[in-house]
Structures are given as structure tokens and as C-alpha cells.
Amino acid sequence: MLIAMSVYTYLRLIVDHGAPNLLPLRQKEVDFCISMLREKVCFFLSTSDSLLCVPTCAQVRFGQQKRYQDWFQRQYLSTAESQSLRCDLIRYICGVVHPSNEVLSSDILPRWAIIGWLLTTCTVRGRKKREFRFHPIKEAVVEEPADITPWLDQLDDTMKEKVQQIQKTSDTETQCEVMQEIVDLIMEDDFDTEQMSALASCLAELFKDHFRGEVLPEEITEESLEESVCKPVCLIFRNLVTMQEDNSGFSVLLDMLAELYQKQPKIGYHLLYYLKASKAANGKMMLYESFAQATALGDLHTCLMMDMKACQEDDVRLLCYLTPSIYSEVNSETVRGYRTSSLTSFLNMVVKMWFPQFGPQKV
């Protein structure tokens, strides 16, 4: 038992000892583990279960877990160095803990609640963790000039002029100013909604470069986050955030965003990012629910699943950044009517994305 726990401990430490000044120590740990696994292979085969000894919550009732979680946080997860254990715990829960149907149907604390707590209580801020760093291979994108010719004739003269102004400049600040003028035109009482589809097609084409590459800044600070949402397309988000739902222009602008969503599906998770990253959007997550209901999907759960899936395919690092806040919002019922079954489906999807090797296990 002592040898097994020693090897397990060093296997965990090896992951965290990647700094240059720790490389000699790390090599000693690697040599030790290799020698033990080679010389004591029969011992490990017979006692492999001892390498998977972690605390369980088999007797904790759902709703009564806070004091146990607080104790566990203080005991095992209170330091910056211990935060990498969260990944191990999530992997263990997904890959090893398989409750019986009797437990699943009882009021025993469900696995999704434990995983959600582990995701939302990480104390590390502004630090990159190896377990959540992804470097997807990206194909080179051939830049092509925006072609809005097919839709220009469907716009009235005023709107056509504004769209062409955006096309003629590459200055972001100027584009933002013109985009605000377009938003103001959309919210006017005499706005012709029949040109909404053509306008959405023009904007999707003009801003296609804004939806390429990574959204999240390399170094996450308040300043870098605010700068990352200073894009023309974010003007729509900002105006919706500052408006009341009973404002006559709110529903029209929301319909415009839903129309743009049909042309550019990445709009969905970009809205989620704006609602988390922008100071102006603090506490405004319910806007996403209004947006989801305005889309052709018409359903919060379906829209959220599709947007998070698209985010995972484009930028896993952004997915990791968004997941804790989205879970907190839906779990605290800030978002209206998000069912427990939907929350479970959301966590199942996230866990499957992060740990596909565990297959279709239910959380």
C-alpha cells in the first residue's frame, strides 16, 4: 500500500513540476516511478485499485452538501498548487464512479453537482493551467475581400450608404461609429423590417474576419477583456444590454440579431462571451435567453447546446472560460426555466467534450 501511494503521489507531482528550476527534481521522480513500476509490476497488478483511492460522497444528500464541500475545499483545494487536483477528480468521477440505478433515482448528491462545484470554485486567477491548455492545429485562412453586392440593392439608400462606409474602411473605431448609426436606424419606428435579412447578410460578410481566430485574450485582465469586446458586431450586444425589454426598439434589434445568427452561427457564443467579459453586461445573462427565444430554434436549451458545441469546435480555451459562469447562472436559476434535466445535459456535453475517452457516460 505504501509503495502504491508513493508512486501515485509522484505521478501526480510530475505533472506540476514543469518549471525549469524543478526539472532535476522531476527527473528523479520519473526515474523512481519507472523503477518501481518495472520492479514491482506484479504488486501493482494486484493492488491497482489502491491507486484510485479518493474521498466519495456516497451518503451525502443533495442540498446538504455545502458543509462537506467547504471542508473538502479547505482540506485539499485551498492552495494554488492543489488546483490541478480538480481535473483528476473530474476524470475520476467520470471514469470510475458509476452509481447504481437505485442511487441515481435517490436523493444522493448527483455527480453533475459535484463536477459543477469543482468547475466553479477554482481559486486560480490569471494563471494558465496545463490541464486546460489546448493548442488546436489551425489551417491557414486565405483572406478574401468582402462581397456584399448580392444584397446591396435590397437596402434603402440610407442603409446602403452606411454599409458601404463600413466596407471602405478597416479602422475598427470608425466601423464601430458607423455600426452604432446602423443600430440607431434599425430602432427607428419607420425601419423597414423586410430589408433585415439582406442587412444581416451584409454584416455577416463584412465582419467575417471578426469570427476567425481566438476570441479570448492571451493574457486575461480587465483591460484586455474590455478591449476584446470593442468590435463593431458587439455594438448590437451593447445596445441590447443597456435597453429595457419593454423598449419598442428592443424586440426589433433582437430580431436583427436572430437574423444575423442564421447567417453567422458563431454569433451565439460570441454573445455569451460578451455577457461574461464586458463590465456593461454584468448580471445581464438573461439577455441570452431572450436571444435564444427569438431565434428560429426558439428554445434556450437547444440554442445553448448548439452554441457551446460550436465554441468547442472553434476554440476549446474559450469553452473552458465560459463554462463555469454559464453553469453558475443556470444553476442559480438566474436564467428562467432552465430545467435540472437540461442542466445535466449541459454538463454531460461539456464533460464529453473535455474527456471524450470516457464515452457516453452519464453525469
Domain assignment of residue 165, yes or no:
yes
Domain boundaries, position 89:
57-127
Question: Are 190 and 222 within one domain?
Answer: yes
Domain assignment of residue 249, yes or no:
yes
Domain assignment of residue 133, yes or no:
no
Question: Are 175 and 234 within one domain?
Answer: yes
Per-residue pLDDT of 48-107, as tens digits, reads 444 444 445 667 887 788 888 888 888 888 877 777 778 778 877 877 778 887 777 777
Domain assignment of residue 22, yes or no:
yes
Q: Are 285 and 329 in contact (CB under 8 A)?
A: yes
Question: Are 183 and 286 within one domain?
Answer: yes
DSSP class per residue in 280-327: GGTT-THHHHHHHHHSSS--HHHHHHHHHHHHHHH-HHHHHHHHHHHH
- Residue 114, φ and ψ in degrees, nearest 5: -65, -45
Question: Are 217 and 303 within one domain?
Answer: yes
Question: Are 110 and 206 within one domain?
Answer: no
DSSP class per residue in 32-78: HHHHHHHHTHHHHHHSGGGGG-----TTPBTT--HHHHHHHHHHHSS
Question: Are 103 and 177 within one domain?
Answer: no
| Reported pTM | 0.61
CA distance 271 to 304: 11
Q: In this structure, what DSSP letter does residue 108 have?
A: B
CA distance 347 to 355: 12
| 331 alpha carbon, distance to own chain's centre | 15
Question: Are 314 and 224 within one domain?
Answer: yes
Question: Are 227 and 280 within one domain?
Answer: yes
Rg from Cα positions in the chain: 25
Per-residue pLDDT of 221-260, as tens digits, reads 999 999 999 999 999 999 999 987 778 789 999 999 999 9
Does residue 303 register a pLDDT over 70?
A: yes
Question: Are 284 and 344 within one domain?
Answer: yes
Q: Which residue reads 448548439 in cell numbers?
A: 306
- Under 8 Å CB-to-CB from 249, ≥6 apart: which residues? 186, 187, 188, 243
Q: Which of 127, 162, 177 is the last residue of a domain?
A: 127
Question: Are 228 and 322 within one domain?
Answer: yes
Give the total number of structural domains in the chain: 3
CA distance 162 to 202: 11
Question: Are 198 and 346 within one domain?
Answer: yes
Per-residue pLDDT of 123-179, as tens digits, reads 655 444 444 444 444 444 455 678 899 999 999 999 999 999 999 998 999 999 999
Per-residue pLDDT of 123-137, as tens digits, reads 655 444 444 444 444
Domain assignment of residue 236, yes or no:
yes
Q: What angle do CA 176, 181, 186 make, to 5 degrees?
A: 120
Q: Which of 31, 53, 75 is the last residue of a domain?
A: 53
Domain assignment of residue 99, yes or no:
yes
Task: State which amino acid sits at residue 86.
Answer: R
Domain assignment of residue 336, yes or no:
yes
